[in-house]
Amino acid sequence: MKATIVTIGDEILIGQIIDTNSGFIAKSLDRIGVEIKEMISISDNKQHILNTFATLQNNVDLVIITGGLGPTKDDITKHTFCEYFDDTLVVNESVLAHVTQMIEGFYKRPITQLNKDQALVPSKCIILHNQMGTAPGMWMKKENTVFISLPGVPYEMKYLIENEVIPKVVHEYERPYIIHKTILTYGEGESKVAERIEDWENNLPSFIKLAYLPSPGKVRLRLSARGKDKVILEKAIEDNVTSLTKIIGDIIVGFDDGETIEVIIGRLLSKQNKTISTAESCTGGQIAKVLTSVSGASKYFKGSIVSYATEVKIKVLGIDEATVNTYSVVSAEVAKEMAVNIQKIMKTDYAIATTGNAGPTKGDSKAEIGTVFIALATPNEVIVHEFNFGQPRDKVIDRAVNKCLEILQKEILKNLL
Amino acid sequence: MKATIVTIGDEILIGQIIDTNSGFIAKSLDRIGVEIKEMISISDNKQHILNTFATLQNNVDLVIITGGLGPTKDDITKHTFCEYFDDTLVVNESVLAHVTQMIEGFYKRPITQLNKDQALVPSKCIILHNQMGTAPGMWMKKENTVFISLPGVPYEMKYLIENEVIPKVVHEYERPYIIHKTILTYGEGESKVAERIEDWENNLPSFIKLAYLPSPGKVRLRLSARGKDKVILEKAIEDNVTSLTKIIGDIIVGFDDGETIEVIIGRLLSKQNKTISTAESCTGGQIAKVLTSVSGASKYFKGSIVSYATEVKIKVLGIDEATVNTYSVVSAEVAKEMAVNIQKIMKTDYAIATTGNAGPTKGDSKAEIGTVFIALATPNEVIVHEFNFGQPRDKVIDRAVNKCLEILQKEILKNLL
pLDDT tens digits, one per residue of B277-321: 999 998 888 898 888 878 788 889 999 999 988 999 999 999 999
pLDDT at position B70, please? 67
Residue B41's pLDDT band (boundaries 50, 70, 90)? very high
Q: Is A361 helix (H, G, I), strand (E, B) or coil?
A: coil
Which residues 280-319 of A are in CB contact (within 8 Å) with B?
A: 284-286, 288-289, 292, 297-298, 301-309, 311-312, 315-316
Q: Within 10 Å of residue A103's Cβ, how many Cβ atoms?
A: 20
Chain B hits for A312, Cβ within 8 Å: 302-303, 346
B170 touches chain A (CB under 8 A): no
CA dist list (Å): A15 to A41, A161, A256, A368, B166: 11, 25, 31, 34, 15
A19 touches chain B (CB under 8 A): yes
Closest partner residue to B346 (CB to CB) among A43, A180, A312 is A312
Task: Please name the residue of chain B whose CA is at the shortest distance from the CA of residue A213.
Answer: B11
Closest partner residue to B298 (CB to CB) among A71, A72, A309 is A309
CATH of domain B262-416: 3.90.950.20
Q: Which of A287, A302, A307 to mutate to test the interface with B (most CBs of B within 10 A)?
A: A302
Query: Are B39 and A41 within 8 A, CB to CB?
Result: yes
Which residues 66-105 of B are in CB contact (within 8 Å) with A?
A: 70-75
Residues B136-175: tens digit of each pLDDT? 999 999 999 999 999 988 889 999 999 999 999 999 998 8
Strand order in the sheet with B137-142: A126-128, A137-142, A145-150, A62-66, A2-8, A35-42, B35-42, B2-8, B62-66, B145-150, B137-142, B126-128
What's the mean pLDDT in B29-40? 93
Q: Where are the domains of chain A?
A: 2-172, 177-255, 261-416
pLDDT at position B401, please? 92
Long-range pairs of B320-328 with CB within 8 A, sequence gap ≥ 24: B328/B365, B328/B366, B328/B367
Query: Are B211 and A10 within 8 A, CB to CB?
Result: yes
Q: How far apart are CA A224 and CA B13, in angstroms?
A: 13
Looking at per-residue pLDDT, the higher value among A64 and B117 belongs to: A64
Query: Are B191 and A301 within 8 A, CB to CB?
Result: no
What's the mean pLDDT in B234-253? 92
Task: Please name the residue of chain A whose CA is at the shortest distance from the CA of residue B391.
Answer: A132
Residue A91 burial (C-beta neighbours within 10 Å; 0-12, 13-18, 19+):
exposed
Q: Which of A41, A59, A77, A162 to mutate to test the interface with B (most CBs of B within 10 A)?
A: A41
pLDDT at position A347, please? 95
CA dist list (Å): B411 to B230, B263, B280, B381, B414: 37, 15, 19, 11, 5
pLDDT at position B247, please? 95
Closest partner residue to B194 (CB to CB) among A72, A209, A212 is A72
Q: How far apart are CA A360 and CA A131, in angstroms?
A: 46
Amino acid identity, position B134: T
Query: Are A311 and B302 within 8 A, CB to CB?
Result: yes
pLDDT at B106 over 70: yes
pLDDT at position B102, please? 86
pLDDT at B60 over 90: yes
pLDDT at position B115, please? 86
A371 touches chain B (CB under 8 A): no
DSSP A61-78: SEEEEES--SSSTT--HH
Q: How far apart are CA B368 and CA A237, in angstroms?
A: 45
pLDDT at position B363, please? 60
Q: Within 10 Å of residue B311's Cβ, how many Cβ atoms?
A: 15
pLDDT at B365 over 70: no
Residues B64-86: tens digit of each pLDDT? 999 877 667 667 888 899 999 99
- A261-416 folds as Maf protein (3.90.950)
HSE-up of residue B321 (Cα within 13 Å, Cβ side) = 2
Homologous superfamily of domain range A2-172: MoaB/Mog-like domain (3.40.980.10)
Question: Which pairing describes strands B208-215 and B218-227: parallel, antiparallel, or unpaired?
Answer: antiparallel
Chain A hits for B22, Cβ within 8 Å: 15, 19, 41
Strand order in the sheet with A371-377: A382-388, A371-377, A350-356, A276-280, A301-307, B301-307, B276-280, B350-356, B371-377, B382-388
B182 touches chain A (CB under 8 A): yes
Q: First vs last Cα of chain A: how many Å apart?
A: 47
CA distance A141 to chain B (A): 24
Beta bridge partners of residue B140, listed in sequence order: B147
For domain A177-255, give its CATH number from 2.60.120.260, 3.80.30.20, 3.30.70.2860, 3.40.50.300.
3.30.70.2860
Task: Please name the residue of chain B whose CA is at the shortest distance from the CA of residue A299.
Answer: B309
Question: Which pairing describes strands B301-307 and B276-280: parallel, antiparallel, or unpaired?
Answer: parallel
Closest partner residue to B191 (CB to CB) among A114, A288, A316 is A114
Closest partner residue to B194 (CB to CB) among A44, A114, A390 is A114
CA distance B209 to chain A (A): 9
pLDDT at position B110, please? 87
pLDDT at position B395, please? 82
C-beta separation of B137 from B148 below 8 A: yes
Query: Are A41 and B44 within 8 A, CB to CB?
Result: no
Residues B173-219: tens digit of each pLDDT? 988 888 889 898 887 888 889 999 999 999 999 999 898 888 777 78
Q: Within 10 Å of residue B340's Cβ, how many Cβ atoms?
A: 19
Q: How far apart are CA B233 and CA A200, in angstroms?
A: 61
Query: Are A257 and B16 within 8 A, CB to CB?
Result: yes
Eight-state DSSP code of residue A211 = E
C-beta separation of A302 from B311 below 8 A: yes
Q: In order along chain A (417 residues), what is the average pLDDT of each group of 10 residues? A: 94 87 94 93 91 96 88 77 95 94 83 88 95 91 96 91 96 88 86 92 92 81 89 94 94 75 90 93 87 83 92 94 94 97 96 88 74 95 93 83 91 75
Closest partner residue to B306 (CB to CB) among A72, A288, A308 is A288
